[in-house]
Amino acid sequence: MIQFSKYQGLGNDFVLLEGRAGQLPLNITEPDPNWVRQICDRRFGIGGDGLILALPPQQGEELRMRIFNADGSEAEMCGNGIRCLARFLADSDGDQPGRTWRTETMAGVIVPELCEDGQIRVDMGQPFLNSDQIPTTLPKGRSGLPQGDIDLQGCTLQLAAVGMGNPHVVVPVQDLKSIPFDAWGSALEVAPLFPAKTNVHFLEVIDEQTLEIRVWERGAGPTLACGTGACATLVAATLLGLSGSEATVKLPGGPLEISWPDPEGSVFMTGPAVAVFDGVLNPELLPQPRPEQQTSAATVEQTTPSSADASTPSTQAKNSLDCANDCQDTCQQPDHCLRDEAQALVQEFLSSTSLDAMINLAGDSLEERTLSRFQRDERP
């Protein structure tokens, strides 16, 4: 059984799987895009804007994050996603305010921090302002970031591109409510100007300290919030002279506080992340090993026999019996049927164990983690 947790940050919601101890199987840590799409489907799966895996580090940091979009593609980073991951880690481990996690991502090492008020502040690293880093074919303009125009449906749009480990394009507009959001967003996401596709943010400047955006997320479409997008928007607005270096970025799901105090340094994001529920994946929702994974596993089995198997051929034959294939017509071991024994054990477990107990076997229950969070935050 595999436990999952559902978290959301400003309505941007994610399915999280705990794998820091290396306990997740290969068919989950290297997931099939079709399985990710099924898990994120709001009618036939759990539902979410993405899937987040908490994994062992590969570069000596505390942990590694992998995040997959609802369409099955892998994202380099996600600001709302890493806030949700940090909140999940704090809830799971009972961490106190001030705790930080050095987290490996495809965009580099990102460091979220648990704040006193329960929000998550994230050092998002330095923005990428060179065309090849984003990537985009837009040339770098006088403002210090890639800029250009594009004609869409008879309108000329001004574009400014920023990388936050993933690609973003910011499009200033006069009135967010009057634009053909879906048509422009979907067209810009796949525009040839962006070889790896792009996240799209339409920006209305309220004042120098208040920006409002609507988000078309690469691989997900319209979303209520985008943390990296809010950061990219502030960077673009600052360089274009539309805002100061610190602003509230209003999104459909709520506001984020974004600051870029040093033009040569990191962008910082502060915002909420909230637990929604925990659950256990039904067997029908568990992924099947992909052919290359089955081949890899078979190779390992063939090349690493145990000493006991090597010394006793009869034992080796018994242990290597594959009921699904070897016993299709008749049981090859009727006096000691492995399938019957396994089915009996499973039935005994299911009949004697409550769902809550099953969840507790997979990990801490939501009730326990919520109680721990309330005690930590000193709530009544």
Say whether both 31 and 95 belong to one domain. Answer: yes
Enclosing H/E stretch for 317:
helix 313-319
Tens of pLDDT, residue by residue over 117-134, are 999 999 999 999 999 999
Inside any domain, residue 314: no
CB 165 within 8 A of CB 76: yes
Among 77, 70, 99, 85, CA closest to 18: 85
36-83: per-residue pLDDT in tens?
Answer: 999 999 999 999 999 999 999 999 999 999 999 999 999 999 999 999
48 in a structural domain = yes
pLDDT confidence bin for 159, thresholds 50/70/90: very high
146 and 114 inside one domain: no
In angstroms, the CA 40 to CA 38 distance is: 5
**Is residue 237 assigned to a domain?**
yes
Nearest-angstrom CA–CA distance, 48 and 220: 10
Other beta carbons within 10 angstroms of residue 374's beta carbon come to 11
As a whole number of angstroms, the distance between CA 131 and CA 125 comes to 18
Give pLDDT, residue 176: 97
Is residue 95 situated within a structural domain?
yes
CA–CA distances in Å: residue 367 to residues 3, 8, 83, 199: 14, 17, 21, 36
Q: Is the pLDDT of residue 106 over 90?
A: yes
111 shares its domain with 181 = no
State the Cα–Cα distance between residues 373 and 380, nearest whole angstrom.
11
Residues above pLDDT 90, as percent of the chain:
73
Q: Is the pLDDT of residue 315 over 50?
A: no
Q: Do 77 and 172 belong to one domain?
A: no
Residue 302 belongs to a domain: no
Angle between helices 366-377 and 79-93 (to 10 degrees): 90
CATH code for the domain of 159: 3.10.310.10
Bridge partners, residue 159, by sequence: 148
Per-residue confidence band for 86, with pLDDT thresholds at 50, 70 and 90? very high
User: Residue 74: which domain range?
Assistant: 3-124+276-280
Same domain, residue pair 144 and 94: no
Report helix, strand and coil shares of the chain as percent, to nearest 5. 35, 30, 40
**Does residue 222 lie within any of the structural domains?**
yes
**Mean per-residue pLDDT, 135-149:** 97
Contact 171, 186 (CB under 8 A): no
Tens digit of pLDDT for each residue in 254-285? Answer: 999 999 999 999 999 999 999 999 999 988 88
pLDDT of res. 288: 81
Report how far apart, in Å, the C-alpha atoms of 58 and of each of 62, 90, 193 are.
9, 21, 33
- pLDDT value at residue 303: 45
**Same domain? 176 vs 238:** yes
Q: Which of 225, 242, 265 is the last residue of a domain?
A: 265
| Band (3; pLDDT cuts 50, 70, 90) | very high
From CA 28, how far away is CA 31, in angstroms rounded? 5
Give the residue from 226, 257, 280 where a domain finishes: 280
Pair (105, 14) in one structural domain: yes
Asked whether residue 47 is assigned to any structural domain, the reply reads yes
The span from the first CA to the last CA of the chain, in angstroms, equals: 34
358: pLDDT strictly greater than 90: no
Write down the pLDDT at residue 160: 98
Strand locations in the chain (E): 3-9, 12-18, 50-55, 63-69, 74-75, 103-105, 108-114, 120-123, 147-152, 155-163, 167-172, 199-207, 210-217, 221-223, 246-251, 254-259, 268-271, 274-280
Query: How far are the Cα atoms of 6, 82, 291 from residue 38, in angstroms, in the given order?
Result: 15, 22, 19
Tokens standing for residue 95: 């961490």
pLDDT in the model for residue 325: 62
Same-domain check for residues 119 and 161:
no
In a domain, 90, yes or no: yes
Distance of alpha carbon 218 from alpha carbon 216, whole angstroms: 7
Q: Do 229 and 191 lie in a common domain?
A: yes
- Helix 79-93 × helix 227-239 angle, to 10°: 130
Q: Which are the catalytic amino acids?
A: 78, 226
Is residue 79 domain-shared with residue 202, that is, in the same domain? no
Residues sharing a CB contact under 8 Å with residue 244, sequence separation 6 or more, in sequence order: 208, 209, 238
Do 182 and 254 sit in the same domain of this protein? yes
* Average pLDDT value for the chain: 87
Q: If we measure between CA atoms, which residue out of 213, 209, 221 comes closest to residue 175?
A: 213
Q: How far apart are CA 127 and CA 231, in angstroms?
A: 8
Query: What pTM, to 2 d.p., does this model score?
Result: 0.76
pLDDT at position 333:
74
Of 209, 233, 265, the position where a domain reaches its end is 265
**Site of tokens 């996690």:** 101
Do 110 and 14 belong to one domain?
yes
Reported as a single tens digit per residue, the pLDDT across 183-235 is 999 999 999 999 999 999 999 999 999 999 999 999 889 999 999 999 999 99
Residue 266 structure tokens = 């990191």
| In contact, 4 and 279? CB cutoff 8 Å | yes
Rounded to whole angstroms, the Cα distance separating 271 from 96 reads: 17
Overall number of domains in the chain = 2
